[in-house]
């Protein structure tokens, strides 16, 4: 954020009293890749087949609180007042191509989110093309997920939409350091990249808040989603620097199944 501490009002108790997810949206290392089924975004290992690929992926098909969803502004409700603020700072991140996205692992424990009085540390952020969530049916070229975890392995994901526009100076260092090709995986050693995470998020922190899941296998439910309404901008060249590696790495929309979506404003 441009201001290190900003507040959103109206996070409901229902949105925060959810089960521990136990894992991050994407693994921080490749240590457990061999123990899970190989999944992808297309073909026989694509999203429509995830739930049948192994016992650990079953919830991808039978879960009732799956993500992403369409965030409909007309159905969003104003929540009850509570505090949410982000304190991200300038620091180094390690870029990893894990075969599903480019993920920036964060080692600085100072990057935190306070959600309903609990502190969550930013573990990583990664990109999806096109956006996974839609807003009133609108899909964006990219969506960035900032994955935050607390000491009990509960997860808050801050979703940020990206629209085509001017050059994004805050993320320029990360985009310039993306792998040259999709074949460069986590086994390739790349130097850390310095990025000012405090300046990445938009000025307006109004958001849609709901209880959902990981958008990648094992699709674990119990994730707190905070999807910021205002998109940030990237130039066409910057967007292309990611989409040439991953033209389509988004999960299709899931059923809302009556879940309440809070319409928050700061």
The three state secondary structure string of 180-239 is CCCCCCCCCCCCCEEEEHHHCCCCCCCEEEEEEECCCCCCCEEEEEEEECCCEEECHHHH
Say how far apart CA 111 and CA 121 lie, in whole Å: 6
Give pLDDT, residue 189. Answer: 59
Give pLDDT, residue 145. Answer: 98
DSSP per-residue string spanning 27-66? -SSSTTGGGS----SSGGGSGGGGGGS-GGGTHHHH-SS-
Mean pLDDT taken over the chain: 84
- How far CA 174 is from CA of 29, 159, 178, 197, in Å, comes to 19, 18, 7, 11
More confident residue, 83 or 239: 239
What residue ranges in 112-198 does DSSP mark as E strands?
Answer: 112-115, 118-128, 134-135, 142-149, 155-164, 193-196
CATH architecture designation of domain 13-29+38-264: Roll (3.10)
Domain borders along the chain are: 13-29+38-264
Catalytic site includes residue 250: no
The model's pLDDT over 185-215, given as tens digits with 9 standing for 90+, comes to: 655 557 899 999 989 999 887 889 999 999 9
Say how far apart CA 243 and CA 249 lie, in whole Å: 9
Please, are residues 98 and 80 in contact by the beta-carbon 8 Å criterion? no
Residue 10: pLDDT above 80?
A: no
The residue from 100, 128, 133, 203 that is catalytic is 100
Helix (H, G, I), strand (E, B) or coil at 15: helix
Q: Taking the model in full, what pTM does it have?
A: 0.86
Q: Which of 219, 195, 35, 30 is nearest to 122 (CA)?
A: 195
The model's pLDDT over 153-177, given as tens digits with 9 standing for 90+, comes to: 999 999 999 999 999 999 999 999 9
């Amino acid at each position: 954020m441009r201001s290190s501490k900003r507040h959103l009002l109206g996070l409901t108790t229902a949105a925060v009293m959810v089960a521990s997810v136990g894992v991050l949206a994407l693994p921080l290392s490749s240590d457990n890749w061999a123990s899970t089924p190989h999944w992808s975004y297309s073909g026989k290992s694509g999203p429509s087949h995830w739930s049948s690929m192994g016992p650990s992926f079953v919830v991808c098909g039978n879960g009732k609180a799956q993500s992403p969803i369409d965030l409909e502004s007309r159905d969003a409700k104003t929540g009850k007042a509570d505090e949410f603020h982000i304190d991200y700072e300038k620091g180094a991140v390690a870029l990893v191509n894990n075969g599903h996205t480019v993920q920036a692992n964060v080692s600085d424990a100072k990057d935190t989110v306070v959600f309903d009085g609990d502190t969550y540390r930013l573990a990583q952020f990664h990109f999806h093309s096109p956006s996974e969530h839609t807003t009133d049916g609108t899909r964006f070229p990219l969506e960035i997920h900032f994955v935050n975890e607390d000491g009990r392995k509960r997860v808050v994901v801050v979703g940020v939409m990206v629209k085509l526009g001017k050059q994004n100076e805050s993320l320029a260092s990360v985009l310039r350091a993306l792998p040259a090709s999709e074949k460069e995986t986590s086994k390739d050693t790349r130097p850390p990249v310095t990025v000012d995470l405090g300046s990445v998020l938009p000025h307006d922190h109004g958001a849609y808040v709901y209880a959902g899941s990981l958008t990648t296998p094992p699709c674990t439910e119990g994730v707190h989603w905070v999807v910021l309404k205002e998109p940030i901008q990237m130039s066409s060249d910057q967007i292309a620097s990611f989409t040439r590696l991953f033209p389509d790495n988004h999960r299709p929309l899931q059923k809302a199944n009556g879940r309440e979506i809070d319409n928050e404003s700061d």
